């Protein structure tokens, strides 16, 4: 049996870096609660909230979405603490290619966003509303026009389709795109993704089926995806995300090639690193993950700072020729930027500070 078969499959059973057990109670003066308006409605929100915190290695960003419980939030805190107290593994590359992010906007706005990004790959949000297929197709066609025939175009449905709807919708969107690179999480469950993959030629990428699942290896066992979308923040940091990517890849290689498979499985399931709408502080961890992967074949979804109308640093990460540089440490927040983005609602500030404490308690229950 290969290593993947011997190791635990569930995300909640993956070990955290043991050094996190040495992190002390966080000094309230080291926490800065932010609230940053978004430039476009995205993922149902117009305001991004979170906390940046500082430790001996730098800064971390704790920004689980409000609907997540304390156990889920514990992984997000682990990622922030890893950045602030431990640092990251060394990078294997200096730059990461990036895909533009196009929200569910009108076609001309979608075209303009794709052009302004300078990226050669774009991910377009679809299925934002019931009955949106015609508008989605118009948006996709506009982005194809912006990218030109050589560009790569992806769509993301956030699991909103059933299998039959996905088959029909992808047929329309693939035609509008002149060919899709892949469809990200078109259906909610692994079983649905596997069934859809048997009925469409459009490659399937798994996102929520990795980061919101207690058994991400199920995607590989079921042959449910062609691409893995990995976010280090909800997975508990760069080290844990690398572990998840390796184990899913190894399982996919064993399913397709027998015991042993391809080393690391990366040839079987390419990995796309994507952000979780973090500030530049949190995005640095996603870039560190993309930089540390053994192989990186596809553009990553880390161009999300364009969706934020502010940042906690003076100079946010900037795309250069459709790429971002891999940092060796998080950027340092700027005092003026922190003041400009500070949470103004005292009740929400208390809620976020209390949430850090609750998440830290939940995290400690999982540490040795």
pLDDT at position 248, please? 87
Give the pLDDT band (50/70/90) at residue 15.
Answer: confident
Positions marked catalytic: 125, 231
Question: Cα 266 from chain centroid?
Answer: 18
Residue found under tokens 């602030």: 84
Euclidean distance between CA atoms 22 and 237, whole angstroms:
16
The pLDDT value recorded for residue 213 is 73
CA distances from 144 to 98, 113, 115, 187 (A): 16, 12, 10, 23
pLDDT digits 0-9 by tens, 158-175: 999 999 999 999 999 999
How far is CA 321 from each of CA 21, 95, 212, 228, 278, rounded to the nearest angstrom?
Answer: 41, 11, 32, 24, 22
**Is residue 311 over pLDDT 70?**
yes
Distance CA 152, CA 141 (A): 12
Q: How many C-beta neighbours within 10 Å does residue 67 have? A: 7
Q: 366 pLDDT exceeds 80?
A: yes
Residues 6+ apart with CB under 8 A from 25: 360
* 73 Cβ neighbours under 8 A, 6+ residues apart: 62, 64, 355, 358, 359, 362
The pTM of the full predicted model, rounded to 2 decimals, is 0.91
- Residues present in the chain in total: 368
Q: What is the pLDDT of residues 89-131, one digit of tens each?
A: 999 999 999 999 999 999 999 999 999 999 999 999 999 988 9
In this model, does residue 350 exceed pLDDT 70? yes
Cβ-contact 169, 180 below 8 angstroms: no
On whether the CB atoms of residues 229 and 210 are closer than 8 A, the answer is yes
The DSSP code for 301 is B
Average pLDDT over residues 198-218: 89
Please report the pLDDT score of residue 3 as a whole number: 40
User: Is 147 a residue whose pLDDT tops 80?
Assistant: yes
Beta bridge partners of 301: 274
The mean pLDDT value of the chain amounts to 91
């Amino acid at each position: 049996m290969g290593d993947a078969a011997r190791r635990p499959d569930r995300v909640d059973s993956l070990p955290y870096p043991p050094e996190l057990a040495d992190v002390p109670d966080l000094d309230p003066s080291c926490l800065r609660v932010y609230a940053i308006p978004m430039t476009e409605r995205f993922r149902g929100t117009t305001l991004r909230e979170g906390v940046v915190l500082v430790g001996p290695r730098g800064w971390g960003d704790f920004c689980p979405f409000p609907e997540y419980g304390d156990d889920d939030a514990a992984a997000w805190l682990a990622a922030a603490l890893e950045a602030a107290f431990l640092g990251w593994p060394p990078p294997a590359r200096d730059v990461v290619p990036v895909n533009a992010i196009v929200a569910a906007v009108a076609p001309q706005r979608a075209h303009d966003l794709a052009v302004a990004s300078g990226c050669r790959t774009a991910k377009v949000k679809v299925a934002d509303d019931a009955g949106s297929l015609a508008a989605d197709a118009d948006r996709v066609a506009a982005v194809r026009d912006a990218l030109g025939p050589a560009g790569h175009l992806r769509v993301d449905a956030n699991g909103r389709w059933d299998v039959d709807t996905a088959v029909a919708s992808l047929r329309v969107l693939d035609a509008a795109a002149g060919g899709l690179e892949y469809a990200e999480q078109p259906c909610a469950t692994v079983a649905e993704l596997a069934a859809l993959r048997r009925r469409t030629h459009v490659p399937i990428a798994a996102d929520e089926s990795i980061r919101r699942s207690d058994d991400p290896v199920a995607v590989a066992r079921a042959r449910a995806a062609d691409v893995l979308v990995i976010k280090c923040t909800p997975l508990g940091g760069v080290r844990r995300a690398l572990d998840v990517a390796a184990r899913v890849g190894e399982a996919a290689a064993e399913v397709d090639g027998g015991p042993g498979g391809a080393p690391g499985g990366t040839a079987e399931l390419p990995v796309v690193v994507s952000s979780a709408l973090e500030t530049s502080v949190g995005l640095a961890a996603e870039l560190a993950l993309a930089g540390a992967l053994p192989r990186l074949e596809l553009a990553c979804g880390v161009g999300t700072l364009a969706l934020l109308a502010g940042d906690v640093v003076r100079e946010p990460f900037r795309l250069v020729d459709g790429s971002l540089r891999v940092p060796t440490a998080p950027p340092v927040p700027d005092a003026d930027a922190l003041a400009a983005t500070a949470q103004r609602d005292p009740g929400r500030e208390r809620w976020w500070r209390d949430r850090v404490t609750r998440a830290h308690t939940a995290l400690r229950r999982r540490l040795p």
